[in-house]
Chains A and B, each alone.
Chain A
Amino acid sequence: MTGTWIAVLATAGGCYALKLAGLTVPQRLLARPLPRRFAELVPVALLAALAAVQTLASGQALHADPARLAGMAAAVAALVARAPFLAVIVTAAGTAAALRALGLG
């Protein structure tokens, strides 16, 4: 039990230290074009990866849940139609929920 507590607190401390480290890196390091462009593109790469993994994977298995795919397709359609952010989210969740309620998910 004590070991588990140590693991819990070490995880919390390590995760916080990493968050703080990112904010603390001297900005002049990012003044050079390559590091600056890398820092700009990192969120695009990571958030696109998260969206893909949360859509198409469950655990370590790749798996296409039909209702979830339909929800994401609805989100893309809403984005192409220039819907505001909240409308995109509600459309996506509503599509998935409706398909599951109909037993199609």
Chain B
Amino acid sequence: MADQAGQQPVPAPARPVRDGLMLGLAVGTSGLAFGAAAVSSGLTAVQACVLSLLAYTGASQFALAGVVAAGGSLVAGAASAVLLGSRNALYGLRLAGLLQVRGPARLLAAHGVIDESTAIALAQPDGASARAGFRATFASLYLSWNLTTAIGALGAGRLGSPQSIGLDVIGPAAFLALIWPQLRAGWTERGVGLLGAVIALAATPFCPPGVPVILAASAALAGALADGTGGGPAAPAGGLP
């Protein structure tokens, strides 16, 4: 690692590897909940582990387990799980220019495109930090998510509640912290964040879990259109206004 090489002062948000590793380890522990939920909904422990290894996107995995538990159609279960994965495609749109990966490296990087790795990468001030943060988050979260899935699937009942040490707050607090610089950057960003949250909460009672978050993408479209009609080209994001 060349972390020590640069002499210029590192700006506050530029601790991509440390932040990514810690977030990955902390959030990855929710694999415990997935492993336990998957087995109690009727998947085998091996199927739970294969999902974490190969699908590697929490919302989709919980969705499939939920449909299996409810005795729903497997086709509908797989379809809704894949639909929930569509937000990763939207993240990829944004990450492609930052990650600059081609060929086999792109095939590997694609597997790591999820909420946390995207959030860490986008919170960095430059491309090199974004790539380092993405890799660190991917590696630590992948290891921790798969390990805890196996533990949860094989013997969940005896473990204490993750809520008792506040693990359920880590995800939302991390997402808020990671978009905070963008929320500070402009009125459009604040409006889009607020509208996205309101849309998702309003849709929650009426949609299966996961779908409300996808609907929130319409807030980004509204923000882009609002900027477009405001005259002048859109300001580049990812830095100071």
Chain A positions within 8 Å of B, measured between CB atoms, are 3-16, 18-25, 27, 30, 33-57, 59-62, 67-68, 71-72, 75-76, 79, 82, 84-86, 88-89, 92-97, 100-101, 105
| Contact in complex: B78, A14 (CB < 8 Å) | yes
Per the bound structure, the CA–CA distance linking A8 and B61 in Å amounts to 9
A41-B192, A41-B223, A44-B220 known; 13 new pairs, CB 8 Å cut-off, are: A8-B50, A11-B55, A19-B88, A22-B113, A43-B90, A46-B196, A46-B216, A48-B194, A49-B197, A51-B176, A71-B173, A89-B23, A100-B166
The residue that A22 contacts in the complex, of B22, B54, B93, B175, with Cβ under 8 A, is: B93
Interface flag for B178 (CB, 8 Å): yes
Interface flag for B227 (CB, 8 Å): yes
Chain B: interface secondary structure? Answer: helix
| Contact in complex: B228, A34 (CB < 8 Å) | yes
Q: Which residues of B in the span 179-228 have a Cβ within 8 Å of any Cβ on A?
A: 179-180, 182-183, 188-189, 192-201, 204-209, 212-214, 216-221, 223-225, 227-228
CB distance from A83 to the nearest CB of B (A): 9
Please encode chain B, from 8 to 34, with 1 for each CB lying within 8 Å of some chain A CB and 0 for all others.
Answer: 000011010011001100100000000
| Contact in complex: B172, A55 (CB < 8 Å) | yes
**Which of B60, B61, B179 is packed against the most chain A CB atoms within 10 Å?**
B179
Q: How many residues of B contact A (CB 8 A)?
A: 110
CB distance from A44 to the nearest CB of B (A): 5
| Contact in complex: B95, A22 (CB < 8 Å) | yes
The interface residues of chain B lying within 8 Å CB-to-CB of A53 are: 200-201, 204, 212-213
| Contact in complex: B178, A85 (CB < 8 Å) | yes
The interface residues of chain A lying within 8 Å CB-to-CB of B223 are: 37-38, 41, 44-45
| Contact in complex: B19, A23 (CB < 8 Å) | no
Q: Can you name the residue of chain B whose Cβ is closest to the Cβ of A40?
A: B237
Interface flag for B156 (CB, 8 Å): no
Chain B positions within 8 Å of A, measured between CB atoms, are 12-13, 15, 18-19, 22-23, 26, 42-43, 47, 50-51, 54-57, 60-61, 64, 68, 74-75, 77-78, 81-82, 85-97, 99, 101, 106-107, 109-111, 113-115, 118-119, 122-123, 163-180, 182-183, 188-189, 192-201, 204-209, 212-214, 216-221, 223-225, 227-228, 233-234, 237-238
